[in-house]
Amino acid sequence: MPQTNARSDGSVAMWHALISFDGLFWQETSEIFNDPIHGHIEMHPLFVEIIDTPQFQRLRNIKQLGGGYFVYPGASHNRFEHSIGVCHLAGKLTKILKEHQLKSKDKSKPEITEKDALCVQIAGLCHDLGHGPFSHVFEMFMKEAGKQWEHEEQSVKMFEALLDENTKETTETRTIEKLMRDVYSFTHDDFKFIKALIKGKQSPPGPTTNRHTEALVKVYEALIQTIDAEDVRKDTGPGIKLKDLEEIKQLIRNSEPLPKDDITNQGGGANVSHPTKPEHTEALVKIFQTLMQMRGVQGQMEEHGSTKDTMKRMIELIGTIKPCDNVEKCESQNSEDKAGTRSDKPFLYEIVANKRTGIDVDKMDYLSRDCHHLGMKCNFDHERYMMFARVCDDQICMRDKEARNMYELFHARHSLHSSAYQHPVKKLVEQMIVDALLEAERAGFQIPGIDKKITEAVMDEKSYLHLTDDVLQEIVQESLKGSPSKGSQSADSPSKPSDLSEAETLIKRIQTRQLYQCLGTKTFSVFNRKTHKGDLKSNIPGFLKELKKLLEEHAEEDNSKLKSSNFDVLCFSLDYGKKEKDPIDSLGFYKKTKPDKMIHLNREEAAVY
């Protein structure tokens, strides 16, 4: 029986082993956390070391739902417990995927190693380290403060700082990074992989069995065999040689897997290795345009799971590839980008933050956790999802009969956005928090103990440790200290902010429920968004400026002293995660009789199950 020991935070430590490295000993200690969502969670000893660092403990003071706590009394949960939940689900899903692969008849699939699982779980544990006060509210503040900042990048910086923290269980100073290297054999590539997962990057380009890519290769090979080489060179431009055509084929194979009927979701460009010659991009387009006219091509495409429409859009996509001017530099960059990224296991990138489908353990935890604390019901069953998840064609796929359960996930997300995340009062409170932070920043407020402004603290990982939800109370306290009317030193003192009264007033208005007033709302449906001239999103800044001007004019007519700065317009969209697209379109499925072959379901087919 392992010895157990109760911690002050209620978790239970289980002593497993005493490990020696470099002549020293380190006590391996896993711990059991009693989580309200997932029950009893046993955390790996390495994860316990990560949890017990200042960078991770800081998450105890970052509200998960930002201003939601001012509307829903139960929404008191923090990023701390969410991160532990994501780590737990990441480990669970990785384990199930590995079990399914071991049982699979397809032995060509790469094995999921213990190191892979540890990397994915650590990424899940640390993916939110960079969140600022009140979570996504801080991103609003940074944007209005004119700073380019993303919490994912900040999470990587905080993770790097965490690696330099000392472990607890050694007799001498030893960092988390050295522990990971010495005891668990982590390499530079492993750390690089973890950081890529934390950033939420899409899977790297690499060899793939994706059926659309293979279909392109097959029909391309058929074209080369059918058309005379001289004609190919003549039709595709000067300088194209037979070896160039082979390089183009390799370029196709190195392309990012492209899901059916979702070719254009690659952000306006193909995620591929650079063509080794500038003329290859043009050659690709011309080759496939010729290919479209060939007899028998349609049959070959259908045989490999592609469609004529897919080919047309592939041609458009290929046209956006930027050729490389410096071949050696690009080849070196491609090699560096692929190093340590598990390019042979792109499905690992779909566990914590899935950019392709939006179905990941991060979402599964926050949907369940938020619903629990908000007193709402979540009909999506993540336990059932994991039972049927398996890897097909390098993607995490789902049983065809589970299509309805997947719709429940996106419906739960939509419902939470409609009822809680975009709640009018919550949005008003959050805007007041942003305005209070902006006023404090203008007044020169410095975070106590580090003497740096808010936007300056972001740039330093040690200072960022002090930036939590407590910042509002710190602003009030500093305002009281610097107010001459309250018996303190002059507000003109160089060691104090010039005037925090505006920020203090806003914070006290939040506390006393004297909130901004909502003057009206307007909903744009998908229909009238499309009829709006141009792209509605790109027109929003001009539209808001015009609207604020009209509000000011009406205020002047009523002899009011209100100005445009007294008004604000908040915009948000409600969809199922893929704008106007059906989110299920990008998800791969499989049938019970063919568990290793990916298929796609349209809306009608999904509705059958």
* CATH number of domain containing 82: 1.10.3210.10
Order of strands across the sheet with 12-21?
Answer: 4-6, 12-21, 24-35, 39-43
3-state secondary structure of 252: helix
For residues 600 and 259, is the Cβ–Cβ distance under 8 A?
yes
Assess if residue 185 is contained within a domain.
Answer: yes
Position 551 scores a pLDDT of 78
How buried is residue 505: exposed, middle or buried, by Cβ count under 10 Å (0-12/13-18/19+)?
middle
As a whole number of angstroms, the distance between CA 213 and CA 356 comes to 16
As a whole number of angstroms, the distance between CA 68 and CA 134 comes to 9
Phi, psi of 285, deg, nearest 5:
-60, -50
Residue 354: closest CA among 113, 527, 583, 546: 583
| Residue that has been written with the tokens 């969502």 in this structure | 37
Q: Given 3-state DSSP classes, what are the helix, strand and coil percentages for the chain, each rounded to the nearest 5?
A: 55, 10, 35
| Residue that has been written with the tokens 């829903």 in this structure | 72
* Beta bridge partner(s), residue 20: 25
As a whole number of angstroms, the distance between CA 385 and CA 402 comes to 8
Same domain, 299 and 240: yes
Same domain, 200 and 215: no
CB burial readout 583-593, b (16+ within 10 A) else e: bbbbbbbbeee
**Beta-carbon-side half-sphere exposure of residue 200 (alpha carbons within 13 Å):** 19
| Cα-based distances in Å from 358 to 112, 201, 607 | 22, 12, 20
How buried is residue 103: exposed, middle or buried, by Cβ count under 10 Å (0-12/13-18/19+)?
exposed
| Cα-based distances in Å from 89 to 270, 286, 329, 365 | 32, 47, 40, 8
Assess if residue 123 is contained within a domain.
Answer: yes
Q: At a CB cut-off of 8 Å and minimum separation 6, what does 532 contact?
A: 524, 539
Position 458 scores a pLDDT of 96
| Residue that has been written with the tokens 């690659």 in this structure | 266
Same domain, 271 and 353: no
Position 223 scores a pLDDT of 52
Position 481 scores a pLDDT of 85
Residue 338: closest CA among 412, 274, 403: 274
| Residue that has been written with the tokens 């949005």 in this structure | 427
CB burial readout 363-375, b (16+ within 10 A) else e: bbbbbbbbbebbe
Position 172 scores a pLDDT of 63
| Cα separation of the two ends of the chain | 47
Position 418 scores a pLDDT of 92
Assess if residue 531 is contained within a domain.
Answer: no
248: its two tokens: 């183009």
> Which of these three, 279, 305, 336, is where a domain ends?
336
The reply to whether 151 belongs to the active site is yes
Measure the CA dihedral 309/311/316/319, to 10°: 180
Same domain, 56 and 168: yes
Same domain, 283 and 155: no
Instruction: Please list the rounded mean pLDDT of every run of 10 residues in the chain (609 residues).
Output: 49 47 56 96 95 97 97 97 98 97 85 96 98 97 94 97 80 84 94 95 54 54 51 48 55 45 36 46 59 53 53 52 52 53 90 93 98 95 96 93 91 94 95 97 94 95 97 95 52 58 97 92 64 58 77 75 76 74 85 92 73
Assess if residue 244 is contained within a domain.
Answer: yes
Assess if residue 564 is contained within a domain.
Answer: no
Within 10 angstroms of residue 410's Cβ, the number of other Cβ atoms is: 21
Same domain, 229 and 367: no
Say which of 44, 82, 151, 212 is annotated catalytic: 151
* Amino acid identity, position 552: E
As a whole number of angstroms, the distance between CA 499 and CA 492 comes to 8
Long-range contacts (CB closer than 8 Å, 24 or more residues apart) made by 566-575: 567/519, 568/431, 568/516, 569/544, 570/427, 570/431, 571/540, 571/544, 572/417, 572/422, 572/427, 574/414, 574/417, 574/418, 574/422, 575/414
3-state secondary structure of 213: helix
> Which of these three, 421, 442, 466, is where a domain ends?
421
Same domain, 14 and 157: yes
Same domain, 292 and 272: yes
Assess if residue 230 is contained within a domain.
Answer: yes
Among positive and negative, which fits the CA dihedral 595, 600, 602, 603?
Answer: positive
Phi, psi of 449, deg, nearest 5:
95, -20
607: its two tokens: 């509705």
What element of type H or E holds 596?
Answer: strand 594-599
Give the structural domain span for 456.
Answer: 433-516
Same domain, 308 and 447: no
Same domain, 35 and 132: yes
For residues 186 and 180, is the Cβ–Cβ distance under 8 A?
yes
pTM of the model: 0.76
Q: Please, what is the Cα angle at 530 between 525 and 534, to 5 degrees?
A: 130
| Residue that has been written with the tokens 């299509």 in this structure | 403
Same domain, 219 and 258: yes
3-state secondary structure of 240: coil
> Which of these three, 472, 496, 516, is where a domain ends?
516
Phi, psi of 320, deg, nearest 5:
-95, -5
The total number of structural domains that make up the chain: 3
As a whole number of angstroms, the distance between CA 336 and CA 338 comes to 5
Assess if residue 523 is contained within a domain.
Answer: no
Position 584 scores a pLDDT of 82
* Beta bridge partner(s), residue 12: 6, 32
Assess if residue 551 is contained within a domain.
Answer: no
For residues 444 and 498, is the Cβ–Cβ distance under 8 A?
yes
As a whole number of angstroms, the distance between CA 143 and CA 138 comes to 9
Same domain, 15 and 108: yes
76: its two tokens: 């008191």
Residue 11: closest CA among 46, 38, 37, 35: 35
